[in-house]
Amino acid sequence: MTLHLLSLDDRLFVTEYLRRFPPETSELTFTNLYSWHNTRPIWVDVISDSLIVFAETKMGLVVLGPPVGSVSLTEVFREYGSQISGAERIPKDMIADIPLLPGVTVAEDRDNSDYVYLREELATLAGRKFTKKRNHINKCLAAYSCQYEIITSELVTECMAMQDRWCAARNCKAEPGLCGEYQAIAETLYHYQEFGLTGGAIRIKGIVEAFTVGEALNPSTVVCHFEKAMPQFQGLGQLINQWFAKNNLSGFTYVNREQDLGIPGLRRAKESYYPHHLVEKVRISLSGSSIE
């Protein structure tokens, strides 16, 4: 294979690599790679029976995530040389073989560390540390008649309509990040059945007011791609989180809820659910260096 821009035609072969070499980082699902293509073009190639993913950035192409296969990062750097400027979203425990040469720098990337939780804790919210979460949920259930539904292809249109209302309330057009997220959610929902996703939605008075979508990342872990709740319903965000873990994810041990992107409020929210661990990541710069 030669280096080329990711397309829907690549879904089966990418998915097969991810099945053979189950990833740990949230970026490495076909859904995540493809759905953000409007704001982050993705390129792929295969060397030594390993799938290599690249992101198109202002600095040129960078390796995105670890190789999917047995090839090492050093071998990837040697193969592509000056075609790439570095690597991003690399698990911290995978950099031991990176040579410390002039021009090669490694920096921690806390903002893109994945938060990984025990599914059982998210589903039950048992114990004193989750008292506030249970209180929010109880207030929501006392104030509103909430009905949970597994997302099917028939429900996708209603979820997208809710996303339109959510964006109107948040003025997404004024925030580039939310605009990019809107496009990614639209792509994800449009291909919901094709991509083999799982999701849940909550109706209040017959109208979808919250939804969430995820998929298997590896045999023990599910990754949650998106979670949205209309802001006027206090406790609805906590409720959709719990009901999704309880009703959709019973076959998994862990739930990867992706990164906080360095956003203070998002970091506090993710930390408030007491992650089991973080998938720590680094950025690698190859500026001015050749690895031989």
- Bridge partners of residue 214, in order along the sequence: 198, 224
Separation CA 104–CA 93 (nearest Å): 17
pLDDT on residue 58: 87
Q: C-alpha distances in angstroms, 203 versus 99, 167, 228? A: 54, 18, 13
Residues 6 or more apart in contact with residue 261 via CB below 8 angstroms? 111, 112
Helix (H) or strand (E) holding 63: strand 60-64
pLDDT on residue 100: 66
* pTM (two decimals): 0.94
pLDDT on residue 1: 61
Query: Mapping DSSP to helix (H, G, I), strand (E, B) and coil, where does residue 173 land?
Result: helix
Q: Are 115 and 267 in contact (CB under 8 A)?
A: no
Q: Are 118 and 257 in contact (CB under 8 A)?
A: no
The domains of the chain, with CATH numbers, are 4-113+280-285 (3.40.630.30), 114-258 (3.40.630.30)
- Per-residue pLDDT of the chain (292 residues), as tens digits, is 689 999 999 999 999 999 999 999 999 999 999 999 999 999 999 999 999 999 999 888 999 999 999 999 989 998 998 899 999 999 998 887 676 666 788 999 999 999 999 999 999 999 999 999 999 999 999 999 999 999 999 999 999 999 999 999 999 988 889 999 999 999 999 999 999 999 999 999 999 999 999 999 999 999 999 999 999 999 999 999 999 999 999 999 999 999 999 999 999 999 999 999 999 999 999 875 555 5
pLDDT on residue 149: 98
Q: From its phi and psi, is residue 213 left (phi > 0), alpha (psi between -120 and 50) or beta?
A: beta
